[in-house]
Structure 1
Amino acid sequence: MGMEKEARKPSGKDFKTLEFKRPVKLTKKQAFKLFIWNPETNAFCGRTAGSWGRIGLFYMIFYGVLAALVAICFCAFLQTIDVRRPRWQLEKSLIGTNPGLGFRPLPPAVNVESTLIWYKGTDKGNYQYWVSALEDFLRKYRRPGQNPGSGANIHTCDYNHPPGPGQVCSVDAREFAPCTFENHYGYHKSSPCIFLKLNKIFGWRPEYYNDSSALPEKMPNKLKTHIRRIEDPRMRNNIWVSCEGENPADQENIGPINLYPRMGFPGYYYPFENSEGYLSPLVAVHFERPATGVLINVECKAWAKNIIHNRNERQGSVHFELLID
């Protein structure tokens, strides 16, 4: 009789034999301990030793490959650059070919946009900041060649003995008298010294005003007279520097000005090629008897045929104020 056997359905008696256990309710402390170490599964922080080994091996390989790729990229990148020579120079660079002037000492960092040098000549605690700022700036000039290997290529140069390839010219800090640390740079006598430097542009060569008959009309007469008195044409190969009061009232209050060691930056310091031990030449501007209690606007200019002056853009010049109480 081919009748299929009907599947037996569980009866109520069978359900009575089933037991349902509620999960044990753990406190936060018990749950944390169980997470740290589960004795039933031998799991530490939710993973067994084998699981931790597999995931650790994965991340070790992943970050190892990632670090290797970064190192390869850096090595390939460093092969394309020269730490001494910029890739983009002169007209192709963002700096361009028109150097500007900088001055020291600078006002405190809290007044980063200020160009005011203000102090009391009779108060040592007041003018000491400016003296210390100049001392910090000139320390490397008093101890040139401190970096290993930088002293071997520093030479004493002049107009007849320019530096050779890879060599740099020394800057003698003793030439700035009376603008010396021993003399407090003149600040204690209300006759301060300001140091000027030309901004460095790699490969830039100055075109000199060395023809006394072809000097620009706007060049100060004092500087023209100085250039015409120089008999040796080679000693005219300078980037000349002049400092004056910016306005007629400033010119009356500024008093006599002297520049040390000369009225410009000698041409044998250029071009700047980022050679080891190079220091920018300096010009010390000594204000002998500036008026006190009056704000004096000062403008200093660098003079070369390929230096353009723009007062609004501060190109080829620098502006600062003096106020001595």
Structure 2
Amino acid sequence: MAENNALYKVGPKEESFSQFLWNSETKQFLGRTGASWCKIGIFYVIFYACLAGFFAIMLTVFYQTIDTNHMPKYTPGKDGGSLLRHPAMGFRPLPRAENIESTLIWYKNGDNDDIKHWTDSLDIFIKPYEGAGGDLSGQHLVDCSDEKPPGEDEVCRFQDTWLTDKCQKAEKWGYNRESPCVILKLNRMINWVPEVYETEEELPEKMPQSLKEHIKKRIHDNSGVMPKMIWVSCKGENPADEEYIGPINYSPFQGFPAYYFPFRNTPGYLPPIVAIQFNQPQSNVLINIECKAWAKNIVHDRQNRLGLVHFELLKD
């Protein structure tokens, strides 16, 4: 019987822990008296109150530096301190989500299920542009031209009828006709203003000859006046790519009209786009394509992808 009672005897560890929880002799709870708990409670209340006050003051100071028009503190403008001084280019359609880092546009000719991903991607991208020629409530849309740029609180109207030929939604963007379309755009940079070429003599030597000929024709059609454009050229990166890429059409223009810039985060703004159509590119061949934007203050940097965009096209 004595042995059984020994089994239920409280050990030194259990006794020590229970005494730590509540010591009836010293009236201590968790090793502290009521007065000690009161003092440490007051200390932490004051400490966290000061910490919260300091955070509130810093947050108030931070909000004083934010523009109420949602403009960043530093911009690429003449008076800005931003390091982002050269725009990059983007393209649509993008590859599937599982290949998000890829730049390959790969589709099976005649396979409607495979083509659907690429056409749906372009449909989603172009949706804001559909009907953009109409009036939008609370937004100031104006018809722009080289002679009539938009005002401070105005945005240029985009005519969705500009996208003609096969580069449009109704034509499945040419993917069902073996003439796929790709849409180019410049990344938005607040207050960035392009320095366009004003004369033929200013055109750089590295500019493709085909683009120079196109510009000369535009000058002739424009009564001898150089259009104010950020010009665009696309070509195969290598001689083999040039051989397989085939003819390229651009719409609505072979470039971005300068009157769309600068971007000021004005509601209703739609950045200009260029649709490029590849007419009968070689099948079953991976074609490396590089498109460049041309202006005096646009640099071309392949490593940092500035002023250009690279993608591959593969048509099975």
TM-score of the aligned structures, taking structure 2 as reference length: 0.78
AA paired with 1:159?
A: D
Q: Distance in 1 between matches of 2:222 and 2:229?
A: 14
Q: Which residue of 1 aligns with 2:256?
A: 265
Task: Could you list the structure 1 runs, at least 4 aligned residues long, displaced by more than 4 angstroms after superposition.
Answer: 43-65, 232-235
AA paired with 2:62?
A: F
AA paired with 1:66?
A: L
Q: Which residue of 2 aligns with 1:93?
A: 82
Q: Secondary structure of the residue that 2:235 maps to in structure 1?
A: strand
**Bigger shift: 260-269 or 218-227?**
218-227
AA paired with 2:65?
A: T
Count of residue correspondences: 298
AA paired with 1:187?
A: Y
Q: Distance in 2 between matches of 1:262 and 1:248?
A: 26
Shift of 1:241: 0.6
1:77 alignment partner, one of 55, 62, 81? 62
Q: Does 1:170 align with 2:157?
A: yes
Post-superposition Cα deviations, 1:226-257, rounded to whole Å, max 9, x if no partner, equal 22223246661000111112222212211121
Q: Which residue of 2 aligns with 1:39?
A: none
Q: Which residue of 2 aligns with 1:158?
A: 145
Structure 2: gaps (5+ residues) = 1-8, 12-19, 22-27
Root-mean-square deviation (CA, aligned residues, Å) is: 3.5
Post-superposition Cα deviations, 1:65-121, rounded to whole Å, max 9, x if no partner, equal 53333222111111023231432535832322x222211111123323321100102
Q: Which residue of 2 aligns with 1:124?
A: 112
Shift of 1:61: 6.0
AA paired with 1:168?
A: V
From the superposition, tell whether residues 297 and 75 of structure 1 become closer, same or farther in structure 2 (CA, over 3 Å). Answer: same
Higher Rg of the two aligned structures = 1
Q: Does 1:240 align with 2:231?
A: yes
Q: Which residue of 1 aligns with 2:95?
A: 107
**Bigger shift: 208-217 or 243-252?**
208-217
Q: Distance in 1 between matches of 2:30 and 2:143?
A: 71
Q: Which residue of 2 aligns with 1:202?
A: 190
Q: Which residue of 2 aligns with 1:283?
A: 274
Post-superposition Cα deviations, 1:145-166, rounded to whole Å, max 9, x if no partner, equal 9xxx974223232223210012
Structure 1: gaps (5+ residues) = 1-23, 27-34, 37-42
1:274 alignment partner, one of 253, 262, 265? 265
1:302 alignment partner, one of 293, 296, 299? 293
Q: Which residue of 1 aligns with 2:200?
A: 212
Q: Distance in 1 between matches of 2:140 and 2:226?
A: 24
Q: Distance in 2 between matches of 1:312 and 1:73?
A: 39
Q: Secondary structure of the residue that 2:59 maps to in structure 1?
A: helix
Identity over aligned pairs, percent: 49
Q: Does 1:138 align with 2:126?
A: yes
1:68 alignment partner, one of 48, 53, 61? 53
Q: Distance in 1 between matches of 2:52 and 2:130?
A: 45
Q: Distance in 1 between matches of 2:292 and 2:95?
A: 20
AA paired with 1:269?
A: Y
Shift of 1:199: 2.0
AA paired with 2:146?
A: Y
**Bigger shift: 60-69 or 181-190?**
60-69
TM-score of the aligned structures, taking structure 1 as reference length: 0.76
